[in-house]
Structure 1
């Protein structure tokens, strides 16, 4: 609808538990600058870091109120005067936005936006940002160890970041070993290309990892919970190997994965915007994560951010 000035969005007025996530139907529609893209949000990724920021435990906090969420996928509604890579109507994914992703519309700098391939849904596109760029960054930090024939152990491989690590590792010719805490998670890790998967809740799983590497240990360990597993990692990592802790992003690996078709986020569960608090609760308190959790916007009609 032309001339629209307000939208529905999740707003956090005070730091706290999931209950502080409230739908506000009268949030101003963000206006893009010359270098920004206005996106009609169709899906928004829910990541653990969103819950840390919401609770006020992330170290640095910004002004209140705010709208959570970095990762979205949707349709370009408007572009700034200096934007050249996109046009209204393009399906896109956003890896970091300016105004918040748990909303009907968001703005992002042009270099934080990518074309959404036709083989991915909006929900899958919303799972590309933090999970896939974190995984890509992990391999980049591994540098010389990422080579054909080397072995990578991905702890928590059934989660959003972990599955991206499995896919990237396989694409780069590594032998990928993964851990998960449920049978469903183990099956998913294998489905996404791991050579073997181990239940990290079972006694003696480390011995199985060592056996799978002929006693040498993995060349790379990608750790999702360094505070839990770092001590064990130091004992089993191959001499001269490295331990990579999770975070941040790297664009080139993601572009290759999307172009070649081997990077496909796995969506575990979708939620309505009104269920944001439930999504936050379940992403932290679960028996075993198996992919991305995504907020979806109504698909029946176009929201029209302008």
Structure 2
């Protein structure tokens, strides 16, 4: 079958069209005909060979995807042939990446995709949706009536987090750096949309929270923003760090004065039980139409390298996907 192959680590130019063979499915495996695959920043880092985990070369990239089940093993109970599903690689074993015509994976990696969600949107679930849900529900334990500040809300995870936080009954403040991003954050349901907050502009958020600050901060770039977050967060509030790209100097006295919590998060630190609970929470919200992934751009399969480059450049908002029409 057709697939994207990476034969040596590097940039987007290393993505090549090729052919691979699928393994036979075992009793707890599922085969999915893929209609779309999502690209995460981690996929790009993996392709460069600089990520914590290096796959054996050659390999097919992609952890997130959406399609239709075409074969199931004898012990599979959660899906059946013909079901629309989205795929989440990482915690459950995926034998081929999602940037392919078909894939084989453990049944625990596939989850029902409601009819109202397109395959392109389904490819934007996986890592972004599970990350947003775990940050808000598991790590921050967001409650109705709280104020949630999402520092960098225009990316794939941020836009889902805005929608989920609103569904949980929170007042949401989101930030973005460009007007296009701000418009998407507002469209996702944020009550207030601002520029990214620095130490010098903390007062702008305090003004809209009666001087108290938000109960919860979701942080995507801690090496730049954590000191401002500590100045901003409400007394006994929670900061959840999802993303970081380096070191930062902070004043721990702020944590003492506020008695706040700074909680790190890596999605795949979940136990299998935690993963299944988060996946169930995400699918329940999907069925309730509480959120929908925002797809920035869909590239045809043959232009996968251009899709990778789009993520590398990081100049847009929302999710980048690759579609498999005609494969």
| TM-score (norm. length: structure 1) | 0.90
Q: 2:53 aligns with which of 54, 60, 64?
A: 60
Residue 206 of structure 1: how far off its partner (Å): 2.9
Q: Which moved more, 1:89-98 or 1:45-54?
A: 89-98
Unaligned runs of at least 5 residues, structure 1 = 1-6
Q: 2:15 aligns with which of 18, 21, 35?
A: 21
Question: 2-side partners of 1:14 and 1:201: how far apart?
Answer: 39
The equivalent residue for 2:283 is 255
**Residues 30 and 38 in structure 1, CA contact (< 8 A), matched pair in contact too:** no
**Residues 30 and 99 in structure 1, CA contact (< 8 A), matched pair in contact too:** no
**Residues 186 and 198 in structure 1, CA contact (< 8 A), matched pair in contact too:** yes
**Residues 140 and 240 in structure 2, CA contact (< 8 A), matched pair in contact too:** no
**Residues 98 and 106 in structure 1, CA contact (< 8 A), matched pair in contact too:** yes
Residue 204 of structure 1: how far off its partner (Å): 5.2
Residue 127 of structure 1: how far off its partner (Å): 0.7
**Residues 31 and 38 in structure 1, CA contact (< 8 A), matched pair in contact too:** no
Change over 3 Å in CA distance of 1:204–1:235 after alignment to 2: closer
**Residues 142 and 244 in structure 1, CA contact (< 8 A), matched pair in contact too:** yes
Residue 286 of structure 1: how far off its partner (Å): 3.3
SS state of the match for residue 135, structure 2? Answer: helix
Q: 2:101 aligns with which of 104, 107, 110?
A: 104
The equivalent residue for 1:47 is 40
The equivalent residue for 1:218 is 214
Residue 203 of structure 1: how far off its partner (Å): 9.4
Q: Is residue 132 of structure 1 aligned with residue 129 of structure 2?
A: yes
Q: Is residue 291 of structure 1 aligned with residue 291 of structure 2?
A: no
Question: 2-side partners of 1:237 and 1:202: how far apart?
Answer: 13
Change over 3 Å in CA distance of 1:43–1:30 after alignment to 2: farther
SS state of the match for residue 132, structure 2? Answer: helix
Q: 1:229 aligns with which of 225, 239, 245?
A: 225
Q: Is residue 279 of structure 1 aligned with residue 307 of structure 2?
A: yes
CA RMSD of aligned residues (A): 1.7
Question: 2-side partners of 1:253 and 1:85: how far apart?
Answer: 15
Which structure ranks higher in relative contact order (CA pairs < 8 Å, sequence separation ≥ 6)?
1
Question: 2-side partners of 1:221 and 1:201: how far apart?
Answer: 12
Residue 205 of structure 1: how far off its partner (Å): 4.3
Unaligned runs of at least 5 residues, structure 2 = 243-265, 268-274
Q: 1:80 aligns with which of 73, 84, 98?
A: 73
Question: 2-side partners of 1:9 and 1:205: how far apart?
Answer: 48
Question: 1-side partners of 2:23 and 2:304: how far apart?
Answer: 21
